[in-house]
Structure 1
Amino acid sequence: MTRSVQPRIRCVGGIVFDTNGRLLLVRRLNPPGEGLWSVPGGRVEPGEADDEAVRRELAEETGLSVTVDRWVGTVTRPATSGVYEIHDYLCQVESGVLRAGDDASDARWCSTAILTTLREAGQLTEGLYTALDEWGQLPRS
């Protein structure tokens, strides 16, 4: 018996904190995760390096220009035609004004209290809180 291998769809996410230790989240405008809050990010384009994809996705979804610092962790999530393999990177804001754009219906800096409220209301993407907690990347305020 042969085991079918689902195609991996490489994605990236940007974990960004402001100077007050609040975490940047966006509300997804489109599936998957439509209406749920997550870190900004998306698919890596063919021939694109992860750091390029992170900077592009953050600019498109939040209006912010970022510097990619380091890889934090990887999660997998089911996709319609395979598996999303999401590589998350810690980033620093260089410039820009926060605004929702592209695949985001809203964008905000979230304190611990706001993140907890979103989590308890079931408004975070699947596994986001657990991954951030395991990686030591929860809001610091």
Structure 2
Amino acid sequence: MEPQRVDCVGALVYDEQHRLLVIQRANEPGRGLWSLPGGRVEPGEDDPAAVAREVAEETGLTVEVGELVGEVERDGAHGSLYVIRDYAATRVAGTLTPGDDATDARFVTRPELLALPTAALLISTLDQWNALP
């Protein structure tokens, strides 16, 4: 039986010092781990709208969504398959405040990111995409 595919998005947001925006997940999957802000695409939403909504909900920031950076598939709950499309995004407004599914949110340098407990394959995927801070 084919796994149920769940469309998801994520955002690659950098600040002026080329630090990467990451959030600490408050819920499963990956509770307590650090990852990119993002989540499920809701019915009727396109990817850019979902990216902007998820970043706002999880970090308090308003972003302008840019190009698709890459796509990954990850095993989800109950035999589902998360299809995650990550987009470049630029901060345009807002105050960085963790919210919704995030217990913390911050911009990190490469050494800071490498020292954090991160979601499975995040570092290697960002490295493949030449997207590490």
Please classify the TM superposition score into its range, dividing by the shorter chain length: over 0.9
Question: In structure 2, what is the equivalent of residue 79 of structure 1?
Answer: 76
Question: Offset at 1:116?
Answer: 1.6
- How far is the alpha carbon of 1:113 from its aligned partner? 1.2
Which residue of structure 1 lines up, in the alignment, with residue 132 of structure 2? Answer: 138
Number of the residue aligned with 2:107: 109
Aligned partner (choices 74, 78, 92) of residue 94 of structure 1 = 92
Distance, in Å, in 2 between the alignment partners of 1:112 and 1:28 is 19
Structure 2 Cα separation of the partners of residues 137 and 80 of structure 1: 27
Give 3-state SS (helix, strand or coil) of 1:86's partner: strand
Superposed CA offset, 1:37-91 (max 9, x none):
0000000001110000000000000000000010000111111131000000000
Question: Quick one: which of 37, 42, 49 aligns to 1:40?
Answer: 37
TM-score by length of 2: 0.98
In structure 1, how many angstroms separate the alpha carbons of the residues matched to 2:77 and 2:107?
30
Distance 1:112 1:46 in 2: 35
Question: 1:56 maps to what in 2?
Answer: 53
What's 1:14 paired with? 11
Flag as ranges the 4+ runs of structure 1 deviating above 3 A. Answer: none
Q: TM-score, normalised by structure 1?
A: 0.92
In 2, Cα distance between the equivalents of 1:104 and 1:69?
A: 23
User: C-alpha distance in 2, partners of 1:50/1:130?
Assistant: 23
Distance 1:5 1:109 in 2: 38
1:25 aligns with 2:19: no
Gaps of 5+ in 2: none
Q: Report the identity percentage.
A: 48
> Could you tell me which amino acid in structure 2 is paired with residue 58 of structure 1?
V
Rg comparison, structure with higher value: 1
Distance 1:112 1:50 in 2: 27
Q: How many residues align?
A: 132
